[in-house]
Amino acid sequence: MAEMWLNMGPQHPMTHGLWNLRVKVDGETMTEAEPVIGYLHRGWEKITENRKFTQIIPMADRLCYGASMSWSHLYCLTMENLMEVEVPERAKWIRTIVLEAQRIGSHLMWLAALGTDLGSYTVFLYPVRERELFLDLMQNLCGARMTYNYPRIGGVRNDVPANFERDFTRVLNHFEKRLTDYEALCDQSTIFRMRMEDVGYLSAEKAKNLGVTGPNLRGSGVDYDVRRDDPYEMYDQVDWKVCVEKTCDAYARYRVKMDEMRESCNIIRQCIKRMKPGAIRVKPPRTAPKGKTGWAHVEDPRGEGFMYVIGNGDDRPYRLKVRSPIFVTVSAAPEMLVGYKIADVPAIMGSVDMCLGETDR
């Protein structure tokens, strides 16, 4: 049969965010795939060279709007490495809590998007409902629903509000019950299993070589998590486990993310218990030395986020390089797609949790 190129995007219900997947199909089987990105490129790294260090924090929020806390935290962590600032202990505990809450929120948004992709509208409605609870918690903490502007270089902006522990515990208690509901909705649905299982195979060697990170890497059976293997904040102080699945398919990636949400609840509970009163912020230097470099990497909800910064002698960076996890995962998309049917695209690309704001920067 004659082969043809098929465009999926930029406006396509499968693309969460804005990108274009060009696939070559032979009948219904994909023989080649080529992601086209850049529809959201605004030169983030160049713009930051014209901004002061503190002005970059809200911009870092808008790198990935699904997990904005994670990115502004990564920026602050990088700057702390550059300026050699030590963060107070309480600020570290608070950061760990909000990062994990952000991870849950981000994974819930991913699950909702996956639900609409697979035609299961209930799986959209339930996670969005519970996501609102986490957004409420964040709103109590920092006043915004999505773009928080909360971490600061050398700490966090403000201390936790009254009844912070109580609210978090209530929401987590409620959420963990709901998580069982989602698993019942998805895992026990024959249609869901049929669409997710045995599609999008990505072997461990390929995943490592192609630079796939985060839940997608752990779905391929590689036991690596930046939180455990290169710990930042308080992840080495709490007791938790890295979720790994061995089956390497879209369903494994889904399972890893679901398990991670439960682990995040576990981490938050421990952090709330062990948090002690104290300072939340130290004053960082206003300028960074010229030519000095610093970098940090964290476990973003989508993979390994990384920033590399060079000081300029004044209060602006000379260069700020961002490594986005999905940028690399999209480049590995052909490896996952080729050989499967065109109808598997939403399941495969839905399982990797796309976020194009950070990809295009």
Partner 1 sequence: MDLRLAPHAVAMSSSEFLSWSGEVMDQLMKYTGAKKAVDRLTAPIWSWAIRNATVPLHFGIACCALEMAAASGPRFDAERLGMIYRSSPRQTEVLLVNGWVTAKLRPDLRRLYEQMAEPRWVIAMGECAISGGPWYDSHNTVQGVDTFIPVDVYIPGCPPRPEAMIDGFMKLHKKITKEMKGTFLND
Partner 2 sequence: MERIGLAPGGKTGEVLAQDIAQKFPQLVTITKATHNRLYAKVDKAALVPLCSYMKDNLDFEHVTCVGGVDWLEEKKMQVVYHITSYANKVTAELVVDLPRDQPEVDSITPLWGGANWHERETWDMFGIVFVGHPKLERLLNPAGTEVFPFRKDFVSGRRV
Q: Which residues contribute to the site for partner 1 (CB under 8 A)? A: 10-13, 16-18, 38-43, 46-47, 50, 58-59, 62, 65-66, 109, 112-113, 124-125, 128-129, 131-132, 135, 145-147, 356-357
How does DSSP assign 50-117, residue by residue?
Answer: TS-HHHHHHHHHTTSGGGHHHHHHHHHHHHHHHHTPPPPHHHHHHHHHHHHHHHHHHHHHHHHHHHHH
Residue 344 interacts, among partner 1, partner 2, none and using kind-specific CB cut-offs from 5 to 8 Å, with none
- Helices 89-117 & 164-187, crossing angle to 10 degrees? 30
Residue 132 interacts, among partner 2, partner 1, none and using kind-specific CB cut-offs from 5 to 8 Å, with partner 1
In angstroms, give the least distance from the CB of 304 to partner 1: 22
Residue 323 interacts, among partner 1, partner 2, none and using kind-specific CB cut-offs from 5 to 8 Å, with partner 2
In angstroms, give the least distance from the CB of 348 to partner 2: 18
Nearest residue to 274 via CA among 134, 94, 58, 122? 94
Residue 65 · residue 40 · CB < 8 Å: no
Residue 154 · residue 281 · CB < 8 Å: yes
Which two tokens mark 52? Answer: 């002061």
Q: Which CB, 128 or 328, lies closer to partner 2? A: 328
Residue 308 interacts, among partner 2, partner 1, none and using kind-specific CB cut-offs from 5 to 8 Å, with partner 2
Residue ranges in contact with partner 2 by CB under 8 A: 37-38, 41, 43, 45-47, 49-50, 206, 208-213, 222, 224, 228-231, 236, 295, 297, 304, 306, 308, 310, 318-319, 321, 323, 327-328, 330-332, 360-361
In angstroms, give the least distance from the CB of 356 to partner 2: 11
Residue 358: in which H helix or E strand, if any?
Answer: helix 356-360
In angstroms, give the least distance from the CB of 118 to partner 1: 15
3-state secondary structure of 237: coil
CB contact set of 66 (below 8 Å; sequence gap of 6+): 105, 106, 109, 110, 301, 355
In angstroms, give the least distance from the CB of 350 to partner 2: 21
